[in-house]
């Protein structure tokens, strides 16, 4: 069946009729969309949408994450043939999923950007559709969380990162990827008692009361204990997952703006995400993939895998029956 479909499938980002099911278009051909889902602004009957936010004007070091959504989509063509491994079900066949395309914004009018992000995400949520966002630098999570909080109330947050992103900054007009969590806490989009940061390995004396499971903890305590700690923090609350690719060690994700050694291995990230099955996930993002610093493409591949795991997590509690 797959071979026969491969002979006739091309540009399924535009031509596929069904929103469910695997795709067998050649990975090296056609127009890339995330997991070969159809590009569509029509959210009728849709369960989950992907969208890109190609923004990198808030970085403290190397730019380039504006190219992240495009690179992640291309890398994801390798994963559209099969159900995500180890989940025991196929979310691509059980959910109607579209690629909603990228956020449109004026790159020269940075001040208007946060509101555009919030409105963009709120439009998707307002249609009763879940959303997973491909970044972009980590600032984008702040206006996304605003839309999530407007929809669900303050959400629990699972934050994978090398950095706490709680550097104090009470100027809410500043756009900075290192302060997104500080401001989200101060603005009430999330609460410290229901927020957990995983993989941290840079010093910040003020973590604003957030639960910290740093990289040494993950390495020493192991995946099972780390998952148990995360689930104890978020409970059954509506939960958002933000995955900064620099949570991974630079050996696994060199293409990022602020790499830090001693991070998680890709197998640890995969095991942690699969271990979170059953949480009440309402949305997520993958950020800080910066293709210019990784000619091999391995960072984008990691980002595509993380996003695919988020699909499986989102659908896990929504499976039929």
Residue numbering of the annotated binding site for Mn(2+): 138, 161, 163, 165, 244, 246
Could you tell me whether strands 239-244 and 156-160 are parallel, antiparallel, or unpaired per DSSP bridges? parallel
Letter string b/e over residues 111-144, b meaning 16 or more CB atoms within 10 A of that residue's CB: eebbebbbebbbbbbeeebbbbbbbbbbbbbbbb
Contact 175, 55 (CB under 8 A): no
How many helices (H) and strands (E) would you count in the chain? Answer: 11, 9
* Binding-site residues from annotation: 138, 161, 163, 165, 244, 246
CA angle 239/57/261 to nearest 5° reads 65
Contact 71, 289 (CB under 8 A): yes
Structure tokens at 282: 């309402």
Contact 152, 192 (CB under 8 A): no
Using CA atoms, how far apart are residues 310 and 159, in angstroms rounded to an integer? 13
Report the DSSP beta bridge partners of residue 135.
53
């Amino acid at each position: 069946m797959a071979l026969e479909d491969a002979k006739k499938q091309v540009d399924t980002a535009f031509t596929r009729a069904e929103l469910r099911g695997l795709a067998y278009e050649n990975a090296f051909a056609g127009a890339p969309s995330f997991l070969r889902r159809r590009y569509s602004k029509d959210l009728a009957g849709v369960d989950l949408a992907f969208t890109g936010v190609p923004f990198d004007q808030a970085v403290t070091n190397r730019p380039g994450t504006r190219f992240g959504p495009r690179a992640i989509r291309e890398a994801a063509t390798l994963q559209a043939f099969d159900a995500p491994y180890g989940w025991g079900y196929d979310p691509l066949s059980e959910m109607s999923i579209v690629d909603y395309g990228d956020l449109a914004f004026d790159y020269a009018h940075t001040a208007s950007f946060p509101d555009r992000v919030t409105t963009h995400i709120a439009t998707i949520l307002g249609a009763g559709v879940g959303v997973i966002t491909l970044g972009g630098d980590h600032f984008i999570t702040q206006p996304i969380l605003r839309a999530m909080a407007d929809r669900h109330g303050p959400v629990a947050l699972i934050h994978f990162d090398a950095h706490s992103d709680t550097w104090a900054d009470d100027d809410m007009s500043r756009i900075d990827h290192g302060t997104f969590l500080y401001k989200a806490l101060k603005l009430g989009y999330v609460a410290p008692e229901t927020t957990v940061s995983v993989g941290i390995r840079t010093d910040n004396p003020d973590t604003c009361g957030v639960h910290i499971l740093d990289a040494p903890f993950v390495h020493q305590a192991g995946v099972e204990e780390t998952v148990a700690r995360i689930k104890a923090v978020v409970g059954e609350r509506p939960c958002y997952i933000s995955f900064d690719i620099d949570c991974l060690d630079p050996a696994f994700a060199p293409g990022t703006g602020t790499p830090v050694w001693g991070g998680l291995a890709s197998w640890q990230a995969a095991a942690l995400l699969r271990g979170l099955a059953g949480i009440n996930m309402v949305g997520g993002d993958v950020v800080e993939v910066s293709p210019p610093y990784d000619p091999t493409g391995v960072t984008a591949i990691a980002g595509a895998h993380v996003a695919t795991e988020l699909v499986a997590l989102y659908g896990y509690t929504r499976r039929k029956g």
